[in-house]
Structure 1
Amino acid sequence: MKPHKNIFPIFLQILFSKPILGVLIDSDYFVSEDTVAENLIKRKNNCTRQPAVIDQLLSGTGYNKLKLPNEDGITVQVEFWIHAITSINEITNDFEMDMYINEMWLDPELKFDHLNPCKQNVSVSYEVLEKLWTPNSCFINSKFAEIHDSPFRNVFLMIYPNGTVWVNYRVRVKGPCDLSFELFPLDIQECHLIYESFNYNNLEVKMRWNEKTQNPVYTTAKIRLPDFELIKIETTRVVAPYAAGMWDELHAKFVFERRFIWYFMQAFLPTYPAIFISWISFSLGTQAMPARTMLGVNALLALIFQFGNIMKNLPRVSYVKAIDVWMLVSMTFIFCSLLELAIVGYKTKNEEKKEKKRKNRKLGKNLELNLEDSPIGFGQKFEKRIMLLPENRRYGNFEKLNLRTIFENVWNWSPEKIDRISTILFPACFAIFNIIYWSYYYNKKLEKAAAFKLDGTNP
């Protein structure tokens, strides 16, 4: 009688699946439900339960947690699961996140497949981990790191029959960031963590990223912060020299892009109305000087107040940021409009004085006509004509510089003409500044993204 060709899957079903009504092994033999149940119960009664397995591993074999499991060195596979990134602080240059740290290594002394265990893997409490050898790994560059203990210590430990140990820690960690604000708020920032064994060099413990997964550091959900968005995670392994030897360091780099829309709405967009309001004064004429002064001063004060609110949340760096350039140039435009107002007011006042002198001259001429008939009047008239001779006739002609001529011509413009030219010149210059500013800093952002080798896909 030939055995049934599907006998191996059927045996697997008998051993690991729920009881079935009957199993057909070949055409003449049928295993009943009672027989399957008896075999499962017998197997269950003869197996070694989890407490006995742990007791025999740690007590019966003389296990020593201070001894390296393999004298040739232990390879520790590491994997990070990023649960949440809670904050990025520009003032202290750090970021904080909750994550799961997975470590897996092979400890031959914990092999228990010969004990006929009831379960193919043993999941035990974190208290057992304190009795086992561990690589004593840590974040060497963290500002703060702790294992969650709500309501108990969040450590998962599983031991496999071949001696493989899998440890999972739920950790809150605060790490450093290399923040640079030259392009703020069009900036891309980088934060990083360094993970290594604190006690063992790479001859004893080889730290490796998990080679079985494409991304040993990945997020369990999309990471979105109020100011930033996580756009890339990069992992590398670095062999670092120390006084006691060479250590394997696992580097995880997190690249964040600032979400620009809030700053555009709160910082850039309000500056446009402030600048446009300062240009209204060009159309009010030379007689409304108090109203023009009020418009310009109020626009300048509003811009300064807004700039201060933004800067108080940023670190005091010693270089110029992109938003500094924008705010300072915007304030310069408003300040120049106030200078134009001062020039127009000065020229208007001079014209009023000249007009008064003209009127006084007319009155004086009428008096002179009455005095011309007398001898005294004739002498005064002769002397005045001598004094009113042109300067060039008295001292000679001198060649004047072109720049001086141009300046004199511009200075002789009327206040109305200055306002008309300012109405065209100020908006044109501001438009040119906008084109140059946004083109320059957007290209700088693209260059920085290319330096980080960003492909535009989020982790």
Structure 2
Amino acid sequence: MKMSKSKTRTLHCLWLFLLACLCSASLANNAKINFREKEKKVLDQILGQGKYDARIRPSGINGTDGPAVVRVNIFVRSISKIDDVTMEYSVQLTFREQWLDERLKFDDFAGRLKYLTLTEANRVWMPDLFFSNEKEGHFHNIIMPNVYIRIFPNGSVLYSIRISLTLACPMNLKLYPLDRQVCSLRMASYGWTTADLVFLWKEGDPVQVVKNLHLPRFTLEKFLTDYCNSKTNTGEYSCLKVDLLFKREFSYYLIQIYIPCCMLVIVSWVSFWLDQGAVPARVSLGVTTLLTMATQTSGINASLPPVSYTKAIDVWTGVCLTFVFGALLEFALVNYASRSDMHRESIKKKRRDMEQASMDAASDLLDTDSNATFAMKPLVRHPGDPLALEKLRQCEVHMAPQKRPNCCRTWLSKFPTRQCSRSKRIDVISRITFPLVFALFNLVYWSTYLFRDEEEN
């Protein structure tokens, strides 16, 4: 009997403990339900009809009549493109504004009610901020509108929204494609002057950028925040701006433009190593490289806006096109020199034939006269005698001062005077001159534009 009584008491204790747990759980659940109902009562209390007017701006700092202060920060989610032709860029960002509206203070129930959440922006007063350099923009409404408003117990309001913008970005393409571009994001008040509304950057970290930001042809080097207040006839308006510094990736242009242009110029020099008589081969090579270079230049210009100044890529393509055109003109000069040498050689040959014929006729006459009479040869030769003139010329050569040898003349003397010798010399000089001048141009081009790039940025 004693054991049964103890068991009965134990069972009673267990039942009492379970009932207590159930009661506490039900009370907690009822408290939560009542707590959620409190949110509705608080919203009705602070935003009820006749209690809050969204048309009136909040008061200034410490409840004064000064301007309302709105602190702004943005989170850059992605940058989809930077267009050189239209000079614009597209960005998706989370935009946040925070300000204090003392009319929205409420009881937080000992810290249980951290903030109230709204999805309708027209329920409270909103700053009239707009993006001054915006071309296009839209909100995101999938699946629900990506916007919320949080009201904190002290009356602080946080507004957050996700938007996509296409913004104007005026570019200076003088150093293209070795350039850096600064694209701005400007935000300003449309109707409230600085006497009523002031925008400030949030302290600490006003701009955040996603870590894995990827751009196909640019690299985001850095970004700077600044103020850009503007004065008009209607007053001074508060303005914020973010300057995004983009560096153009040069490797793409090196592979697609610079190396192919160099190869075309070098291919045009093959004409210097072909024979002067290979007219079809040299003409077709020169015309083909010239047309290819012209097509390459037109393709580059098609991807750029028609600006009035000269770009770095224009200098490069223009000089490369000049070298290819110069190689084609060089063959025209070689062909002309070759035909001129052939004509001169034919005239000399005719003259030699005529002299030889006259000498043969004279020798025949001398042979005839020698058979008839024997002429006495003089012991002293006259000044007009050919043998005397030859000896006098040899003496002058030995007596003349010896000139120092010239390396260029010595190198050119390897090509003796014969048929087409001048055309051959033009080809040989071109083989050395064209590469040297092109190498000098590369040295000046890269040193100039790379140095200007570092100086201006």
TM tier, smaller: 0.7 to 0.9
> How many angstroms apart in 2 are the aligned matches of 1:350 and 1:149?
81
Residue 362 of structure 1, CA deviation: 3.5
Return 355-364 or 49-58, whichever deviates more.
355-364
Partner residue of 1:442? 450
Distance 1:420 1:164 in 2: 83
- Displacement of 1:224 in angstroms is 2.3
CA contact (8 A) 1:49 1:118 kept: no
CA contact (8 A) 2:146 2:161 kept: yes
Match in the other structure for 1:348: 338
Q: How does 1:220-369 map to 2 (within 5 A)?
A: 220-368=210-358
Distance 2:281 2:257 in 1: 26
Quote the Cα distance in structure 1 between the aligned partners of 2:127 and 2:234: 16
Q: Deviations over 1:381-435 (max 9, x none)?
A: xxxxxxxxxxxxxxxxxxxxxxxxxxxx99x972222222221111111111111
TM-score by length of 1: 0.77
Segment of structure 1 superposing worse, 78-87 or 292-301: 292-301
> What displacement does 1:271 show?
1.3
Alignment deviations for residues 211-268 of structure 1 (CA, whole Å, 9 cap, x no partner)? 1x23x12212332222212112111013321223221100111111111111111111
Q: Output the amino acid matched with 1:108.
A: E
Say if 1:57 and 1:63, in contact at 8 Å, map to a contact too.
Answer: yes
1:80 and 1:102 in contact (8 A); partners too = yes
Is 1:105 aligned with 2:94?
no
Which has the higher mean CA deviation after the structures are superposed, 250-259 or 67-76? 67-76
Kept in 2: contact 1:146–1:173 (CA 8 A) = yes
Equivalents in 2 of 1:169, 1:114: separation in Å? 25
Read off the aligned partner of 1:58 and give its amino acid letter: L
> 2 CA distance for matches of 1:162 and 1:432?
71
**Cα distance between partner residues in 2 of 1:176 and 1:266:** 27
CA deviation vs aligned residue, 1:310-366 (integer Å, no higher than 9, x gap): 110100011111111111111111222222212211111011112222332234335
1:146 aligns with 2:138: yes
For the pair 1:63 / 2:71, whether they are aligned, the reply is no
1:177 to 160, 169, 174: 169
- After superposition, residues 66-145 of structure 1 pair within 5 angstroms as 66-70=55-59, 71-113=65-107, 118-125=112-119, 127=120, 129-145=121-137
1:204 alignment counterpart: 196
Max Rg structure: 2
Distance 1:328 1:245 in 2: 51
Identity across matched positions, percent = 32
Q: How many Å separate the matches in 1 of 2:108 and 2:50?
A: 13
| SS of corresponding position for 1:112 | coil
Task: Kindly indicate whether the alpha-carbon contact (under 8 Å) linking 1:53 and 1:115 is maintained by their aligned counterparts in 2.
Answer: no
In structure 2, stretches of 5+ residues that fail to align are 1-19, 60-64, 366-411
Superposed, which structure 2 residues align to 1:346-425 within 5 Å?
Answer: 346-368=336-358, 414-425=422-433
- Structure 1 gap ranges (5+): 1-31, 375-408, 450-459
Is the partner of 1:103 in helix, strand or coil? strand
Q: Who is 2:406 aligned against?
A: none
Equivalents in 2 of 1:240, 1:232: separation in Å?
25
- Closer, same or farther in 2 for the Cα pair 1:253/1:36, shift >3 Å? farther
Tell me the CA shift for residue 73 of structure 1.
Answer: 2.4
Root-mean-square deviation (CA, aligned residues, Å) is 2.6
2:38 to 42, 49, 59: 49
Could you tell me whether the CA contact under 8 Å between 1:195 and 1:250 is conserved in 2? yes
* Deviation (angstroms), 1:187: 0.8
Q: Aligned partner of 1:427: which letter? A: P
Paired residues, number: 380
Secondary structure at 2:308's aligned position in 1?
Answer: coil
The TM-score, its normalising length taken from structure 2, stands at 0.77
Indicate the SS of the match to 1:270.
Answer: helix
More displaced stretch, 192-201 vs 220-229: 220-229
Change in 2 beyond 3 A, CA 1:122/1:166: same
Task: Report the CA distance between 1:100 and its aligned residue.
Answer: 0.8
Q: Is the 8 A contact 2:108 2:114 kept in 1?
A: no
Kindly tell me: are residues 196 and 363 of structure 1, through their superposed partners in 2, closer, same or farther at Cα, counting changes over 3 Å?
same
Structure-2 separation of matches of 1:236 and 1:33: 59
Counterpart AA for 1:330 = C
Q: CA deviation at 1:152?
A: 3.0
2:171–2:181 Cα contact (<8 Å) kept: yes
